[in-house]
Structure 1
């Protein structure tokens, strides 16, 4: 083999190795547009749906080793909307979530169970483990999650769908007896994220 052919072969092998190296190290993905948090209260007399698109945060992921995942996702409480201005005012007030005193709801990601790695462009079903903070109180949470590392379609990004349940009394939010038939103690939370590689 001539020197020129040897150099060409080495160059080809190096280029082929780049994706392997890229997916074998931790990468930071920043939450971008198209991300959303939605919540639902199913009570005997009323179902209340709310949402916010003001989701922010980032996740550090090594696709080859999901055990090392970490991240922080948060949403300003004042951006939560239910479709009725007066109800939103009550929701943000000091009798409920108290947005003035506790401005953000925060999900801190500490681990993943159910899969050890991500294969690009294949959806994985996992359980995301972490801590959720609301109304100044923090408790462990486990979120059933679908995650996909999308490559080859513009910049690399993560698509994530997570769901978990928040028990309001556990977070120091008591539902008044007057509205107990309209507001559930247990709130279903659904998070949809598109997070772009930095």
Structure 2
């Protein structure tokens, strides 16, 4: 019996798709719920703010969570603080220079010390942080929550959710942001809290 070659190809692709559970999760949130929160605690002033321009793709397989990889991107111009003058300075050319460096990103290459607690996976995420065109190797703690069939409750379409949570710090002088300047008002250490959900529609 002769089987057309295109039929064989279709069958092969279908079997491969069904046998693997790795899926891609899109972190571009149309509801603008995804966000980061940052805090800088200097001797004279404490600066608190947030950013909601989150996007990126992460691949995840619940049977092989150690193979998780991807990239989370922040639109730098979405960073916000309550004081409009401070915000203008923060986004301007002397500090983040968002017109020249429009994005901040973290590329996840590998998970270390992975362990499962209920529906959560705890690990140290090894990757590369890029701020103001300076890229550094970083390891940050991460909690990954896989929510099978839960996308419908959030976006009214069938699919899965992947939630990433992390708290970590960066230092602005590591990224050549006004190194050693104005430390009495703008702390060198920036404490960051990340809470984002990615969608994988069926």
Task: Give the corresponding residue for 1:181.
Answer: 184
1:100 Cα deviation (Å)?
1.2
Contact 1:142 1:164 in 2 (8 A): no
Which residue of structure 2 lines up, in the alignment, with residue 134 of structure 1?
Answer: 131
Cα deviations across residues 130-156 of structure 1 (Å, max 9, x unaligned)? 111001100011121111101243331
Over aligned residues, Cα RMSD in angstroms? 1.9
Secondary structure of the corresponding residue to residue 57 of structure 1: strand
What is aligned with 2:194? 191
| Equivalent position of 1:145 in the other structure | 142
Task: Quote the offset at 1:175 in angstroms.
Answer: 4.9
Q: For 1:196 and 1:150, locate their aligned partners in 2 and report how far apart those are by CA, in whole Å.
A: 10
Gaps of 5+ in 2: 1-17, 153-158
Deviation at 1:63, TM superposition (A): 1.7
- Given that 1:66 and 1:111 are in contact with CA atoms closer than 8 Å, whether structure 2 keeps it comes out as no
> What's the TM-score, normalizing by structure 2?
0.79
After the TM superposition, which parts of structure 1 deviate over 4 Å for at least 4 consecutive aligned residues?
Answer: none
Distance 2:104 2:21 in 1: 29
Q: How many residues align?
A: 174
Distance 1:187 1:62 in 2: 32
> 2:84 and 2:43 mapped to 1: Cα distance?
22
Deviation at 1:71, TM superposition (A): 0.7
